[in-house]
Amino acid sequence: MSKKLKIGLFGFGVVGQGLNDIIRSQSLNLEVVKIAIKNPDKERTLPASLFTTSHDEILDNPEINTIVELIDDADAAFKIVKKALSNGKNVVSANKKMIATHLQELVKLQAEHGTSLLYEGAVCGSIPIIRNLEEYYDNELLHGISGIFNGSSNYILSKIFNEGLAYQTALKQAQDLGFAETDPILDVGGYDPKFKLTIATAHAYGLFINPDHILNVGIQNLSDNDIQYAKEKNYKIKLVPTARKISTKQVVTFVLPKFVKADDFLYNVENEYNGVTVQAAFADKQFFFGKGAGGHPTGAAVLSDIAALRYDYRYEYKKYNQQNGLIHTDKVNIEVYLRYIHEYTVDKLQVENIVERFSRNDYKYVIGSVSLKNLIANKDLLIQKDVFIAQTGKLNYSEDMIKSIAEEGVLLN
């Protein structure tokens, strides 16, 4: 039999209100006792007695056994979650930056205090990818996980490739619809999908990676020339985070725009939808598809976690606890399309194995291989306005790389 949950809710924005709508439409053994907000003067649809501006009023309330954290401030969210777990309260959160940045510490807190932190809503909205990585793939050998993890960027790219909108026009439309912020760099710059990739990698491979160690380059420098090139090749451009096992012991991660072919699952993932591809040794390739943004889709993922807590569910972090010896590495070469103005860009990135080159006064590009290590070291160059880079999907290995990992076993393609 499920236990009664007494909930303290932090945040009553789009997701918080979406969650409340879903809870009120269901007959569940739970009750929202108090809701923490920032602005007490804002008109609400619920009784004023439900709201408070004091975090401690909720965190120190012995009646409340479950905290649901849905605020957009990662630092404040961490303080809330840390205190709640330490006080013996279970927590559901959708704050991907907070979780990605502090995941290892949060795992230790859960173990120390016998509490549970669930965060399905933090990664890809309504897609249940975390629970699947944790449960379905718990004993699987995963070759890779990649996909479209950010609805805002995908909405913009969909409008560009399907309706012919200019980048700035599509961005403005996304902002008007509430998909993108006034300063959209967290989305279009690849930071949001990087945080989500960090969390997914922890469950896929048992690796707790500092997000600062993962390369993220976004779509903010996309030009008409890049779009025209992709269309001529019958590609679409998608912003794709990738975690891939490149040997028996090494995993690479990065977030880059990607040229996607028509036979790729991601090709038809449009607008605010997300898609996740998991490549497994035995289950082979599997694809998850669903809405990645919005109050009700994300609220549904949050409610799934809340419902699981009624039965004392917790993540076991099985692959982390197996101590499988995997390490995070940058020892791989990525084939890329690089559009640039100045020749020193190609020289500094040490582009090798160039298979295509084009040059005219206002547009230059090469397609060649660049080491991930070099891309990370030169990220400041990659985000300059006259540079755009996209992966082709191919990984290559230099002789030095092959030698350095040959002792571990066969390379994984």
pLDDT in tens, 324-379: 889 999 999 999 999 999 999 999 999 999 999 999 999 999 999 999 999 999 99
- pTM recorded for the entire structure: 0.94
Residues in the chain, overall count = 413
Predicted confidence at residue 231, as pLDDT, reads: 96
Q: Is 378 exposed, middle or buried (0-12, 13-18, 19+ CB in 10 A)?
A: middle
Low-confidence residues of the chain: pLDDT under 70: 1, 397-413
Task: Quote the pLDDT of residue 21.
Answer: 85
- Domain 5-125+295-316 carries which CATH code? 3.40.50.720
* CA–CA dist 343, 381 (Å, integer): 12
d(CA 39, CA 37): 6
Domain ranges of the chain: 5-125+295-316, 143-289+325-408
CATH of 143-289+325-408 given 1.10.260.40, 3.40.50.300, 3.20.20.80, 3.30.360.10: 3.30.360.10
Q: What is the pLDDT of residue 406?
A: 53
Catalytic machinery residues? 196
Amino acid 402: pLDDT: 57
Q: Torsions phi, psi of 238, nearest 5?
A: -130, 150
As a whole number of angstroms, the distance between CA 221 and CA 340 comes to: 11
| Longest Cα separation, the chain | 71
- Are the C-beta atoms of 94 and 305 separated by less than 8 Å? no
* pLDDT recorded at residue 1: 54
What does the buried/exposed string (b/e) look like for 350-375 if buried means 16 or more CB atoms within 10 Å of the residue's CB? ebeeeeeeeeeeebbbbbbbbbbebb
282 neighbors 141 (Cβ within 8 angstroms): yes
